[in-house]
Structure 1
């Protein structure tokens, strides 16, 4: 019976399929083997689009609701609540996840030419930090969504373990590897013994020495960038006439993808309009109201992400806010990015050290650090992890596809 492996990621997703005795990544959007984890409910054309097409329709100005970072909702109080799609209708967040998983399944079936009912799904080490009940609930919600999408036999594998399987397929000698899977929503670590003589085993429990992870990753860096650069231009951390900071909840909601839409309710807009007298510089309040009234929140969050990516690729960039106010631009460089993400880097590096500690392994005994996940493109972050394990070789996998490839290897061992 046919099968697949699905990497449902916070920022990007992919699917692996069997091809003869090996696995391949299926094209999921045109010729692309990965796509952004995004759904756009287009109310102008009464349609749905996914991935790059979803982002393009949103940027082109179609009316509707763009949903991203869906995975981060699992296990939270929001998961089973309803969200407005912009046309008067509403849908549960978990139903949107099922819709996206069903899209990935259809793309896999189109490539394979057969119906698929069996799959391995990846999961982070922790969907929710320090809450085993919520973590279990998150996996149950993802499984329910996958079954709603038409999958009947479902297995889960930790995403960093999957990345270790992908790395192992290229090794000639045994090694003790710390896999750092740093994506959009979580930073996950697994300490794994890998090697050619171990590859044939289906049960690899004895080779996995420790797991650890934190719910801190790419979207948290985006949030910091927006709070430190864009939102001060809208009054974040500004002072009222008596020298106190203006209420900041609206700014934290503006910087959090799945909360942005809550700001657009009539009640919330009315409350914000009445806050004008709190701003010493009324331009800050005017800009905030333009963002709310024109529904520019997701656009601002996307620009923060683009600025992070631009700086990570080298040099400095400029954040253009011309649609908010003529000639409003903000310079942004690597030093600002590093400063904005200091706390996140510390928490991620500490999680890596705690993984080795949990295994009873000294930092010097780790042979290699295997990096995967989109956020490993931040060099100051990977440098901090390398500094924590100075004797380990740094190895960089495919940032967006290593987990999917490893999940495919695991699926082949289970189903074939």
Structure 2
């Protein structure tokens, strides 16, 4: 029988990757260049408000092209963090994408998977891909097994809708452990910390050169745990702690006759700071509601700025600003963390800048970081082991660029060696290794 045509897909909250068998004569799996030479692609879709439909549906751009279309001001709708929709009641709903068009959220996810599949098929000379391993977080939904199962079933349905016939799933941090395993020459117990855009996942795995060829690795998976807190939550916290303050978030309204003042309504700013809810803030009903609440603001400039953001649809601009500030202050860059950052809000109000410090960001993220660090310790406890049993901490996922987050996790494991994997590619590479074992 001919070997099935298979791949592995890391469908991430922020970035995605596809692994294919290495070219003939080579071993292992290789990540596919998805955009130019880039082996990962932002998980983003931009729906153009104008243009004819084609065989794949409404006119769209994907990945970096989608982000560029938004930044360049094309009329349409940017969709990001689609993975966060899995397991929610939004999946079967339709959303306005501009130009009088709408799209079902499930079709947005399927369309992105189809793009990944098509690029990979082109890369291997047009041969159709029929089998795939898909990565999944330890928990799509915290504390709700039914919705968690629903989320995986939804992702499977989207993958089958674009032509995959046989599917297998693997936990993303376990896939990262497989990638780490390919780099070592002695048996170890490794705690994998996979902290991306949507979830922080931990797996305690026994790895080693004698174990690599085994297909069934269930006995080597000592424990796994996770929380639905990660990069997009950090962006939201930073957004609320800095740019949204210019729009009145957390401010007090006019003083009342009894000498007290109420906090201005915060529902709109909370939604504006949440990626998958930003576009819900632009409806006529919400605009009318905000216009009617001018009297709730002691500072009229805050209300005017909020209206400007809604009328000019600058919510995604602020989200991008928050992410950039987080990266600058968190230590992602080559020159390490900055001590201060000024958010440029000139598109809202000429000359407006909002200062923010690393200390303020650390404070804003304190509760999220504490929950993530606690989840790492709980993963080891659930396995019935102590921190001393952990030989190495393997960090992967874009959010592991936050140095104070990595330090907080590592503090409970002082004897373990810290290893930084490829932040965006380790999971995809590990899923590829698993796909070869399953389908190869």
Question: TM-score band, normalised by the shorter chain?
Answer: over 0.9
Match of 1:189 among 202, 224, 227: 202
SS of residue in 2 equivalent to 1:347: helix
Q: Equivalent residues in 2 for 1:126-165 (5 A)?
A: 126-165=139-178
Match of 1:226 in 2: 239
SS of residue in 1 equivalent to 2:270: helix
Match of 1:318 among 334, 342, 357: 342
Distance in 2 (alpha carbons) for counterparts of 1:78 and 1:23: 35
Q: Give CA deviations for 1:23-45 in whole Å, capped at 9, x if unaligned.
A: 10101111111011000001144
After the TM superposition, list the runs of 4 or more consecutive aligned residues in structure 1 that deviate by more than 6 angstroms. none
**CA apart distance, 1:349:** 0.3
Pair 1:38 & 2:44 matched: yes
Distance in 1 (alpha carbons) for counterparts of 2:350 and 2:42: 31
Q: Give CA deviations for 1:124-158 in whole Å, capped at 9, x if unaligned.
A: 00000000000000000000000111111110000
Match of 1:263 in 2: 281
Q: Equivalent residues in 2 for 1:344-383 (5 A)?
A: 344-383=368-407
Match of 2:318 among 282, 285, 300: 300
Match of 1:206 in 2: 219
Q: Give CA deviations for 1:207-237 in whole Å, capped at 9, x if unaligned.
A: 0011100000000110000000011110111
SS of residue in 2 equivalent to 1:326: coil
Distance in 1 (alpha carbons) for counterparts of 2:194 and 2:369: 14
SS of residue in 2 equivalent to 1:252: helix
Match of 1:10 in 2: 13
Distance in 2 (alpha carbons) for counterparts of 1:81 and 1:68: 16
Match of 2:55 in 1: none
SS of residue in 1 equivalent to 2:242: helix
Match of 1:217 in 2: 230
Residue ranges of structure 1 left out of the alignment (5+ in a row): none
Q: Equivalent residues in 2 for 1:244-263 (5 A)?
A: 244-263=262-281
Match of 1:78 among 90, 93, 100: 90
Distance in 1 (alpha carbons) for counterparts of 2:262 and 2:360: 25
Q: Is the 8 A contact 1:44 1:62 kept in 2?
A: no
Corresponding residue pairs, total: 416
Distance in 2 (alpha carbons) for counterparts of 1:4 and 1:112: 11
Match of 1:235 in 2: 248
Pair 1:272 & 2:290 matched: yes
Residue ranges of structure 2 left out of the alignment (5+ in a row): 53-58
SS of residue in 2 equivalent to 1:84: strand
Is 37-46 or 265-274 further displaced after alignment? 37-46
**CA apart distance, 1:84:** 0.6
Match of 1:174 in 2: 187
Pair 1:108 & 2:120 matched: yes
**CA apart distance, 1:332:** 2.5
Higher relative helix content: 1
CA distance 1:319–1:45, change in 2 (3 Å): farther
Q: Give CA deviations for 1:58-96 in whole Å, capped at 9, x if unaligned.
A: 000001000000001100121211111011111111110
Q: Is the 8 A contact 2:13 2:197 kept in 1?
A: yes
Distance in 1 (alpha carbons) for counterparts of 2:179 and 2:204: 14
Question: Normalization by structure 2: what TM-score?
Answer: 0.93
Match of 1:93 in 2: 105
Match of 2:134 among 118, 121, 125: 121
Question: Normalization by structure 1: what TM-score?
Answer: 0.99
**CA apart distance, 1:327:** 0.8
Q: Is the 8 A contact 1:250 1:263 kept in 2?
A: yes
